[in-house]
Structure 1
Amino acid sequence: MSTTKFIPALGYDFLSDYYDLAIKLTMPEKKFRNKLIDYVNPQENEKILEFGFGTAQNIIILKQRFPNCNIQGVDIDPKIKTIAEYKLNRAGIETPLFLYDGDKLPFEGNSFDKVYSSLVFHQLDMITKLKCLLEIYRILKPNGELIIGDWGKAKTKWMRFSFYLVQLLDGFKTTTDNVNGLMIKYITDAGFKNVQEVDYINTSIGTYSYYKAEKIN
Structure 2
Amino acid sequence: MGTWLTRPLAGRTNTTINTVDKKSFIPALGYDWLTSFYDFTIKLTMPEKEFREKLIDELKPNAGEVILEFGFGTGQNLLLAYERNDRLKLIGVDIDPKVKAIAEYKINKRGFDISLDLYDGKTFPYADNSFDKVFSSLVFHQLDKETKLSCLKEIFRVLKPNGQILIGDWGQAKSKIMRFAFYFVQLLDGFATTNDNVYGFLPKFIEQVGFKNVYESDFINTKIGTYSYYVATK
**Which of the numbers 135, 139, 146 marks the counterpart of 1:127?**
146
Deviation at 1:15, TM superposition (A): 0.2
Counterpart contact for 2:61–2:84, Cα < 8 Å: no
Q: TM-score, normalised by structure 1?
A: 0.97
Amino acid at match of 1:146: I
Deviation at 1:198, TM superposition (A): 0.7
Alpha-carbon RMSD: 0.9
Amino acid at match of 1:123: Q
In the alignment, the residues of structure 2 paired with residue 160 and residue 116 of structure 1 have an alpha-carbon distance, to the nearest angstrom, of 25
Q: 1:147-168: CA deviations, max 9, x gaps? A: 0000000000000000000000
> Unpaired segments of 5 or more residues in structure 2?
1-18
Amino acid at match of 2:138: L
Deviation at 1:187, TM superposition (A): 0.3
Residue 149 (structure 1) aligned with residue 143 (structure 2):
no
Percent identity for Structure 1 against Structure 2: 62
Amino acid at match of 1:78: P
> Unpaired segments of 5 or more residues in structure 1?
none
**Which of the numbers 110, 115, 137 marks the counterpart of 2:156?**
137
How many aligned positions are there? 215
In the alignment, the residues of structure 1 paired with residue 94 and residue 110 of structure 2 have an alpha-carbon distance, to the nearest angstrom, of 20
In the alignment, the residues of structure 1 paired with residue 63 and residue 89 of structure 2 have an alpha-carbon distance, to the nearest angstrom, of 9
- The corresponding residue for 2:180 is 161
Deviation at 1:193, TM superposition (A): 0.3
**Which of the numbers 72, 77, 93 marks the counterpart of 1:53?**
72
**Which of the numbers 45, 54, 64 marks the counterpart of 1:26?**
45
Residue 93 (structure 1) aligned with residue 112 (structure 2):
yes
In the alignment, the residues of structure 1 paired with residue 134 and residue 155 of structure 2 have an alpha-carbon distance, to the nearest angstrom, of 7
Amino acid at match of 1:44: A
Q: Secondary structure at the match of 2:128?
A: coil
Q: Secondary structure at the match of 2:214?
A: strand
Q: Which runs of 4+ in 1 moved over 6 A?
A: none
In the alignment, the residues of structure 1 paired with residue 163 and residue 52 of structure 2 have an alpha-carbon distance, to the nearest angstrom, of 21
Counterpart contact for 2:63–2:85, Cα < 8 Å: no
**Which of the numbers 206, 210, 219 marks the counterpart of 1:191?**
210
Deviation at 1:2, TM superposition (A): 2.4
Deviation at 1:20, TM superposition (A): 0.2
In the alignment, the residues of structure 2 paired with residue 93 and residue 87 of structure 1 have an alpha-carbon distance, to the nearest angstrom, of 9
Deviation at 1:131, TM superposition (A): 0.3
